[in-house]
Structure 1
Amino acid sequence: MKILVIEDDRRIGGFLERGLVAEGYQVTLEPDGRDGLDRLRNDAFDLVILDRMLPYIDGLEICRLIREERFPVLILMLTAKDSLQDKIDGLKGGADDYLTKPFAFDELLARIIAMRRRGPGQDERSLLRVGTLTLDSESRRVTRNGDPISLTVREFELLRYLMINADRVVSRERLLNGVWEYGFDPGTKIVDVYVRYLRQKIDSAEGPSLIQTVRGIGYMISATPAAAT
């Protein structure tokens, strides 16, 4: 996922860039509205994290221009303006979500994940494949080698999240945020338990598991066998 951060506060911008890159996102940082809008017009992004108060072009105006020019991006408005009217103005201007400063980084990640579920580009992810495993988000049908697999709602969401991030390691924290919408670790090993459930349902007895354990980090789904899981 490619993210454009338009933020004039260097400390906040650097914090966002480092944190999002560590989570596996591709991040471009621009320090003002003019450069941010130019970058958006010349490159493709999935999400714009947009400060409300920016030099040269206000964040709300950028938001309106993005929608007028029909860029297929999600917009998360990030600002110190926290009145109800400010939030209404931002959402009416075209923002998909609104987060006020100061904010917790885990909440920011959870908002991004929630926006991806419902935002532009979702149709492109309706049919996911990893090897012989397929998942159809619209029909909620899962098959392997053409054979249907019955999953619970939570198992389906966990599998879908892993398949969207196929061949990339996903931390337990991201899975908790993205699937259970927890901003904290409840200490119940719920991710590990559900991964075990999934393995029992999607893997055959003969072959290696599609869901690979990356010790100390989390999980990855891949059709390429790992050296050790």
Structure 2
Amino acid sequence: MGTRDGRRDVRRQSVRAYLHRWVESSGAQLLVVDPTDDGGALAEAMAGRGVHVTWVGSTLDALVEFGRTDPHAVVVTSEAPGIPAEEFVGVIRQHGAPYVIAGTCSIAGTGADGVGPLILAGASAVVVRPYVPQHLWELLTHAPRSLAEHARLEIGALALDATAYSVRVNGERIADLPLKEFELLRALMLASPGVVTDDELRDALWGTDGKRPGGNTIAMHVTRLRTRLGAVADVRRIRGRGYSLTVG
């Protein structure tokens, strides 16, 4: 029993690490500007929804991260040090139209904790701290830039949902893929019908740190994925370049 539980824990950790890698490179981006926490719990919860959280403690750091990540949405509190939060909101809204959410300790205290100026500066919603992932997700679904595209991929009859960890063919869910094959399929679908290089696949399947396997291991996973997908998709080896997926 203990061994089985141990294997289950290892699998959970592998899926968790995969989700973080996936959302960081391809997910929706959420920037949180709040000096009261490090955001670890929120980042963990939002990763499963296809949202990567960048958490900073000051508006000056937030300006840097805003330029780096081009976030879909920004949560900001009036207590954040640096330039005034309402000035920060005004600046970022001059460079696109991010969905801005004002963070507050309580809705009843909007006048006391500076939410009013943030609304006037361009915030479109208010969220109470500590942040509840489900509530924040509901607010994010109103953002002008779609979030759903980052959790789901669909090419012809083939559909992958990272949130549900599922693959469907013609609407019917197939047997769950092993983790590496799921990651492989996701990487190929993101680039389809383009080519994904061996190095890009290593990054997607094993991350950029530590020892990574060679091309034979990738080829083995590709062969297994082909078998599981059958005739619905063609995964081709492009000699000297990588792999490409097309769906008939």
Matched ranges for 1:153-192 at <5 A:
167-171=160-164
- Aligned positions of 1:33-112 closer than 5 A: 33-67=59-93, 69-80=94-105, 82=107, 83=109, 85=111, 87-112=115-140
Size of the alignment, in residue pairs? 152
Which secondary structure does the structure 1 equivalent of 2:142 belong to?
A: helix
Counterpart residue number, 2:212:
none
SS in 2 for 1:70: coil
**Shift in Å at residue 34 of structure 1?**
0.8
Superposition TM-score, scaled by structure 2 size: 0.48
Q: 1:8 to 1:214 in 2, by over 3 A?
A: farther
Q: Write the distance in 1 (CA, Å) between the matches of 2:31 and 2:175.
A: 31
Alpha-carbon distance between aligned partners in 2 of 1:102 and 1:81, rounded to the nearest angstrom: 10
**Residues 1:27 and 1:84: Cα distance change in structure 2 (over 3 Å):** closer
Unaligned runs of 5+ in 2: 1-27, 190-224, 230-248
**Partner amino acid for 1:32?**
S
Percent sequence identity over aligned pairs: 15
Deviation at 1:22, TM superposition (A): 4.0
1:132 counterpart (149, 156, 167): 156
**1:70-125: per-residue Cα shift (whole Å, max 9, x none)?**
3232222212253455555433321122112244332112222x223xx1469xx7
Q: Give the RMSD, CA atoms, in angstroms.
A: 3.9
* 1:9 and 2:2 matched: no
Look up the SS of the partner of 1:115 in the other structure. coil
Structure number with higher helix proportion: 2
Deviation at 1:44, TM superposition (A): 1.9
| Conserved? CA contact 2:42–2:131, under 8 Å | no
Change (3 A) 1:71 1:130: same
Partner residue of 2:234? none
Once the two structures are TM-superposed, the CA of residue 213 in structure 1 deviates from its matched residue by 6.4
- Structure 1: where are the runs of 5+ without partners? 134-162, 173-197, 204-208
- The residue type paired with residue 85 of structure 2 is G
Match of 2:126, SS state, is strand
Q: Is the 8 A contact 2:59 2:83 kept in 1?
A: yes
1:134-182 CA-to-partner distances (Å, cap 9, x unmatched) read: xxxxxxxxxxxxxxxxxxxxxxxxxxxxx9xx6342239xxxxxxxxxx
Larger Rg: 2
Give the conservation status (yes or no) of the 8 Å contact 2:29–2:53: yes
Structure with the bigger RCO (C-alpha within 8 Å, sep 6+) is: 2
Which aligned segments of 4 or more residues in structure 1 are displaced greater than 3 angstroms? 83-89, 211-215, 220-228
Q: Secondary structure at the match of 1:75?
A: strand
- One-letter identity of the residue aligned with 2:160: D
Give the 3 Å change call, closer, same or farther, for CA 47–77 of structure 1 in structure 2.
same
